[in-house]
Amino acid sequence: MNGVSKYYGSFRALKDINLDVHLGERIVICGPSGSGKSTLIRCINMIEPIENGDVVVEGVTLGADRKATELVRRDIGMVFQQFNLFPHMTVLENCVLAPMKVRGVRRAEAETIAMTYLERVRIADQAKKYPAQLSGGQQQRVAIARALCMSPKLMLFDEPTSALDPEMVKEVLDTMIWLAEEGMTMICVTHEMGFAQAVAHRVIFMADGEIVERAEPEAFFTNPQHARTKAFLAQIL
Ligand code: ADP
């Protein structure tokens, strides 16, 4: 992201964001509510348009060329706080829809791929159920499997455990840790600082639409530099 600014009306939600993320890197973004974390990751897959600057993914400047943008967006998976599964479709249908419609994968192959990922997230036995028949933790694991069915090169997570009951947080974090161990490039907005310490290469702290601090986890947690980071960590740790 080069000099990215984002406005909602006259409100500047992102201010001159510069961020490089390398292949295989795992970034955790944290910061107070309203600091622009969600907006930042939503700009990476163009859910939110930006007013200034560039987002470049795999060498493609998003928005510059429609076809190239569409192709590169397919490589970006996203997991939302509220799961966002299609409620009228079974777990399996949720997982095969995008590969079939967007990538043109045949149904039999799409189902084989879907079952492989559903097994990886330990939920294959629920494949015929509808989202409402599953717990929140199970739905979020399905959402992760669904994103993986598109063979993404980058996964964005927007507070994936915030809507979960406490006993379900671990099963989703364990799935994310597995994904990290597989070498997936991940950008995660989360307040799960244990997760950040365990898997992040870098932690980014935002406040008021800006990146205030960025550091490796150990330095971030033991020796934060900025007063706002210190205040935030004092509150949540
Ligand atoms: P965070 O994820 O850190 O909680 P957000 O990115 O959701 O922060 O929001 C950053 C700021 O932008 C907040 O002040 C929020 O109220 C505002 N905002 C977010 N989405 C919209 C929107 N669709 N319209 C107007 N303002 C928005």
Residue 9 CA, closest ligand 1 atom number: 25
Cβ neighbours of 29 (radius 10 Å): 28
Cα–Cα nearest to 145, from 73, 81, 77 = 77
| Residues with a CB atom less than 6 Å from ligand 1 | 8, 11, 13, 31, 33-39
Helix axes 136-148, 107-120, angle to 10 degrees: 130
Which residue minimizes the CA distance to atom 23 of ligand 1?
A: 8
The residue whose CA is least distant from atom 15 of ligand 1 is 34
Instruction: Note the pLDDT of residue 237.
Output: 81
User: Strand 56-57 and strand 52-54: pairing?
Assistant: unpaired
Calculate how far, in angstroms, residue 34's C-alpha sits from the geometric centre of ligand 1: 5
pLDDT value at residue 14: 98
What pLDDT digit, counting tens, does each position of 12-24 carry? 999 999 999 999 9
DSSP class of residue 159 equals S
Instruction: Give CA–CA dist 85/220, Å, rounded.
Output: 34
Condensed to tens digits (0 to 9), the pLDDT of residues 67-82 reads 999 999 999 999 999 9
Q: Ligand 1: which of 17, 33, 39 to mutate, most ligand atoms within 8 Å of CB? A: 39
Q: Please compute Rg for the chain using Cα positions.
A: 18
Best residue for ligand 1 mutational test, from 7, 35, 48, 188 (most atoms within 8 Å of Cβ): 35
Query: Of all atoms in ligand 1, which is nearest to the CA of residue 31?
Result: 3
Cβ–Cβ under 8 Å, residues 203 and 182: no
Pick out the chain residues at pLDDT < 70.
none
The CB-based long-range contact list for 68-71 (8 Å cut-off, 24+ gap) reads: none
Q: Find the length of the chain.
A: 237
Q: CA 69, CA 186: separation in Å to the nearest integer? A: 20
Pocket test for ligand 1, best of 6, 7, 11 (most atoms within 8 A of CB): 11
Query: Kind and range of the H or E element at 54?
Result: strand 52-54
Phi/psi at 203 (nearest 5 deg)?
A: -110, 135
Q: How many CB atoms lie within 10 A of CB 17?
A: 24
Residues 6 or more apart from 164 whose CB is under 8 A from it?
Answer: 136, 137, 140, 172
First to last CA, the chain: 29
